[in-house]
Amino acid sequence: MEKFTKAFPSKPLPTKTAKPWALAGVVGSGNLEVLLESGGRPKDAMECHVETSIPGYKASWLAALADFAHHYPAGGTKVTINDQGAPPVLVTLRLRQAYDHLTKGDK
Amino acid sequence: MSGVLFHEQTARQRIAALADAGSFVELLAPPERITSPYLAQLGIPVSFDDGIVIGHAKIGGKKVYLAAQVGQFVGGAVGEIHGAKLTGLFKAAARDRVPCILLVESGGVRLHEGSAGEIAIAETMRAIFECRALKVPTIAVIATDIGAYGGIGILSTCCDHRIMTEHGRLGISGPIVIEKWMGKKAYNSADRALVWKTSGGKTKYLLGDADALVHDAPEAVRDALTKLIGKSKPVNLGSVKARQKELQNRLKRFGATDDPNVVWKGMGVRNIEAASLASGPEFAALAKRGK
């Protein structure tokens, strides 16, 4: 297991969200779950907590998360990830799904 | 029908599709992070809900307690937290006299925390019988190929009613376990037709182990739930003795056969091929449950 925490600069999240938290994905082989929570944090950063069963890929994680924080206004959110070996492209997809659920509601 | 397949939905989507719009309130939701301490110790990733979503909602305006297992997380297996959520939900149902529905998707006890899981299943069974003694209806919905096995198979049969689809499977030992113990000649777990004809929804409906056999669609499951939600089945010496007699009869009639088609024929299915291809409700119409 590898565990790390980092905050990434990001534009503030829209003030109105559909719900206070959103979950995307599931902890299964090659998959992950992303919990996205809003409120009570500095508006200029996305705070990330990652726990992964596959150690040694921290650089890829940080790149994927920094990229998301750059492209989406996610400042003030907290991202918590439980990972079981998801590829980077799936990490990005789940982040987008969670963001969509948070801002627009579940579909 | 919306075209949505129940077995393809996630646990939370299933609940949202069955409950009245916006009525579901999740208890111990992911932000509370009540996760398994055992998996963490073993270096296995944990899940925020420990593989089960619980809460209360309304179905057709009636309050219900609802749980949905997450089959993709360690096979929906029951650990200490998962089990405690399940037990608590049925206890709350008994306390508040509110029907309780379990959307099943589990292979049974989680082996990484076996003792805790076994105890949790036993406690949940006790809570289910507490509900039944109070005539509070309990319903298990078994509609995915992960199905209901091991302790969860037993627990499902403790409920008043079981709603199944043809995808659903119900049993104690899973096909691979049976094959490991009895040999491939006795039971070939790779033979899907054999597996579903012994533990699948159609056979379970035929034998009376499932009360309804419905389309693999949230609307169909909801319809069946609406019909059963207000009904409880008594548990007393008479009902237990009648059930025992039924099972003895079943053993006498089919105990010696190794061909599931013999069971189907014996239970009144005339055209095996047509029945195999039929959808759940069509099958239910074709089969007269041996009458």
pLDDT tens, residue by residue, B202-257: 999 999 999 999 999 999 999 999 999 999 999 999 999 999 999 999 999 999 99
User: CA-CA distance, B267 to B204, in Å (whole number)?
Assistant: 11
Dihedral sign of CA atoms B107, B108, B113, B114 in order: negative
Question: What's the mean pLDDT when you consider all of chain B?
Answer: 95
User: CA-CA distance, B257 to A50, in Å (whole number)?
Assistant: 54
Contact A21 B30 (CB under 8 A): yes
DSSP state of B109: B
The reported pLDDT for the residue numbered B291 is: 45
Q: Spell out which residues of chain A touch residue B17, defining contact as CB-CB under 8 Å.
A: none
Domains, chain A, with CATH or none: 2-9+21-104 (3.30.230)
- Nearest Cα residue in chain A from B35: A82
The reported pLDDT for the residue numbered B83 is: 97
Q: Which of B31, B43, B48 sits opposite A33 (nearest CB)?
A: B48
Pairing of strands A31-38, A77-84: antiparallel
Contact B30 A83 (CB under 8 A): no
State the CB neighbour count (10 A cutoff) for residue B182: 11
User: CA-CA distance, B289 to B286, in Å (whole number)?
Assistant: 9
Q: Which of A19, A21, A23, A36 to mutate to test the interface with B (most CBs of B within 10 A)?
A: A23
Of A78, A59, A58, A100, the residue nearest A10 (C-alpha) = A78
* DSSP string covering B121-138: HHHHHHHHHHHHHTT--E
Compute the nearest-CA separation of B46 from chain A (Å).
Answer: 7
Contact B30 A106 (CB under 8 A): no
Name the amino acid, one letter, at B52. Answer: I
CA dihedral B285, B286, B287, B288 (to 10 degrees): 70
3 state SS of B197: helix
For B38, the token pair is: 């055992």
Residue spans per domain, chain B: 6-170+210-232
- pLDDT for B190-202, tens place per residue? 999 999 999 999 9
DSSP state of B70: -
Chain B residue set in contact with A, beta carbons under 8 Å: 10, 12-13, 16, 29-31, 33, 43-48, 70, 72-73
Per-residue pLDDT of chain B (291 residues; tens, 9 = 90+): 678 999 999 999 999 999 999 999 999 999 999 999 999 999 999 999 999 999 999 999 999 999 999 999 999 999 999 999 999 999 999 999 999 999 999 999 999 999 999 999 999 999 999 999 999 999 999 999 999 999 999 999 999 999 999 999 999 999 999 999 999 999 999 999 999 999 999 999 999 999 999 999 999 999 999 999 999 999 999 999 999 999 999 999 999 998 999 999 999 898 999 999 999 999 988 876 544
| Mean pLDDT calculated for residue range A92-101 | 97
* CA end-to-end span of chain A: 33
Q: Which of B49, B50, B144 to mutate to test the interface with A (most CBs of A within 10 A)?
A: B49
Ordered strands of the A2-9 beta sheet: A2-9, A45-52, A77-84, A31-38, A21-25
Chain-centroid distance, C-alpha B109: 14
Q: Which of A3, A27, A82 to mutate to test the interface with B (most CBs of B within 10 A)?
A: A27
3 state SS of B117: helix
3 state SS of B96: helix
The reported pLDDT for the residue numbered A106 is: 74
CA dihedral B276, B279, B283, B285 (to 10 degrees): -150
The reported pLDDT for the residue numbered B289 is: 59
Contact A33 B47 (CB under 8 A): yes
Which region, left, alpha or beta, applies to residue B94 given φ > 0 means left and ψ of -120 to 50 means alpha?
alpha
DSSP state of B216: S
The reported pLDDT for the residue numbered B286 is: 84
User: CA-CA distance, B147 to B140, in Å (whole number)?
Assistant: 11
> A21 forms bridges with which residues in the sheet?
A37
Compute the nearest-CA separation of B264 from chain A (Å).
Answer: 37
The reported pLDDT for the residue numbered A107 is: 59
- Indicate the class that CATH gives domain B6-170+210-232: alpha beta
Do B204 and B195 touch, CB atoms closer than 8 A? no
Q: Spell out which residues of chain B touch residue A80, defining contact as CB-CB under 8 Å.
A: 33, 48
Do B30 and B53 touch, CB atoms closer than 8 A? no
